[in-house]
């Protein structure tokens, strides 16, 4: 028998769309989510649900929370990146055209956030649910900041497994690549460009940049593919007639589950001559076993499993998690970002079906 639900799904779908429109029209860059945190709290209070707030992170728990039951975390983030310079629309105006809801954060990850909130409300009053639910709308996901989900893990408490809301077209992202960002500096010696003076740091950097482009790590993941290294930024020189003494460049590395960050760094340092400073060693690859009940519930609904090349708060949580949500990752951070209205509506329904299926696994 399905868990009893209040209120009915169509009303939750309408409420979710209305909340998403308000979130779009409220700037919430990473670290600046005060007002969107207030909007989410108000939405929960509208349903008679009390919320805890820690910084810009909002946490709510099932009404009938029972210590003996497993705990499922429903998590997504309410911060956004800054608008892509190619926007042709007002990024902070929620507009609907041809079944699409446009606006910054609509796809990443506003759609998933409001759909998970609706799912939480759907089960909130259930007295016979075989699990406890915790809803967490967290901050600073886009910049992996210290005041996001990491800062409230202790407040959330013990969790058996989580659904992390990100745009996956409601398919099951059962693995996720880790992220390692390196700041590199090639060193030379300053001199006058008109004379045979100095050592050009740009030329010193070229062999290392070429190595990052060409090197292939041996172990390839069935789900996540190979380790991918990309030089994404470069900066050098002060003026046209001075041989630069330093060349700074940045390397973005997406790591599969076969390697640790430490192993990747060891290999790199053995092959390049530039100095290397990792920005962070926190964003590790993650995965959930195919036999996990949550995965099996999704498969039973006909959903497909895949490995995600993009990072999320999954990298920072210490318990099994599945990344899943309405929208398409290809639209994230793009100009004129949008999400289809039917994706949100279907997302709410499918989240609820997934948790109902979980009760019978």
Q: Calculate helix-pair angle for 341-358, 111-124, nearest 10 degrees.
A: 40
List the chain pLDDT tens, one digit each, 361 residues. 344 444 568 999 999 999 999 999 999 999 999 999 999 999 999 999 999 999 999 999 999 898 889 999 999 999 999 999 999 999 999 999 999 999 999 999 999 999 999 999 999 988 788 899 999 999 999 999 999 999 999 999 999 999 999 999 999 999 999 999 999 999 999 999 999 899 999 999 999 999 999 999 999 999 999 999 999 999 999 999 999 999 999 999 999 999 999 999 999 999 999 999 999 899 999 999 999 999 999 999 999 999 999 999 999 999 999 999 999 999 999 999 999 999 999 999 999 999 999 865 5
- CA within 13 Å, CB half, 257: 14
Task: Supply the pLDDT for residue 7.
Answer: 54
Strands 305-308 and 172-176: parallel
Task: Supply the pLDDT for residue 126.
Answer: 84
Using DSSP's 3-state secondary structure scheme, residue 11 falls into: helix
Task: Supply the pLDDT for residue 5.
Answer: 42
Q: Give the tens place of pLDDT for each residue, 129-150.
A: 889 999 999 999 999 999 999 9
């Amino acid at each position: 028998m399905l868990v009893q639900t209040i209120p009915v799904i169509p009303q939750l779908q309408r409420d979710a769309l209305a909340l998403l429109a308000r979130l779009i029209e409220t700037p919430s860059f990473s670290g600046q989510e005060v007002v969107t945190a207030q909007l989410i709290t108000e939405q929960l209070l509208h349903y008679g649900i009390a919320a805890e707030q820690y910084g810009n992170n909002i946490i709510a728990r099932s009404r009938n929370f029972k210590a003996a039951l497993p705990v499922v975390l429903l998590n997504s983030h309410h911060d956004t990146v800054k608008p892509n310079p190619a926007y042709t629309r007002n990024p902070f105006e929620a507009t609907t055209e041809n079944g699409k809801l446009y606006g910054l954060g609509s796809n990443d990850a506003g759609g998933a956030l409001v759909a998970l909130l609706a799912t939480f409300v759907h089960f909130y009053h259930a007295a016979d649910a075989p699990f406890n639910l915790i809803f967490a709308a967290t901050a600073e996901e886009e910049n992996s900041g210290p005041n996001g989900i990491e800062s409230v893990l202790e407040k959330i408490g013990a969790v058996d497994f989580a659904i992390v809301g990100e745009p996956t077209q409601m398919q099951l992202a059962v693995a996720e690549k880790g992220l390692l960002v390196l700041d590199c500096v090639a060193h030379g010696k300053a001199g006058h460009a008109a004379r045979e003076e100095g050592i050009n740091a740009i030329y010193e950097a070229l062999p290392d940049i070429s190595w990052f482009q060409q090197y292939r790590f041996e172990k390839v993941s069935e789900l996540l593919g190979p380790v991918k290294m990309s030089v994404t930024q470069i900066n050098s020189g002060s003026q046209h007639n001075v041989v630069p003494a330093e060349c700074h460049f940045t390397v973005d590395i997406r790591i599969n589950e076969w390697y640790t960050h430490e192993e990747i760094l060891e290999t790199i340092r053995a092959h390049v001559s530039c100095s290397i400073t990792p920005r962070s060693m926190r964003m590790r690859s993650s995965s959930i076993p195919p036999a996990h009940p949550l995965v099996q519930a999704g498969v039973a609904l006909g959903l497909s499993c895949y490995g995600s090349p993009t990072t999320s708060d999954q990298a920072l949580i210490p318990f099994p998690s599945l990344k899943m949500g309405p929208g398409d990752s290809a639209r994230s951070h793009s100009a004129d970002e949008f999400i289809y209205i039917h994706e949100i509506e279907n997302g709410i329904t499918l989240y609820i079906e997934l948790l109902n299926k979980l009760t019978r696994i």
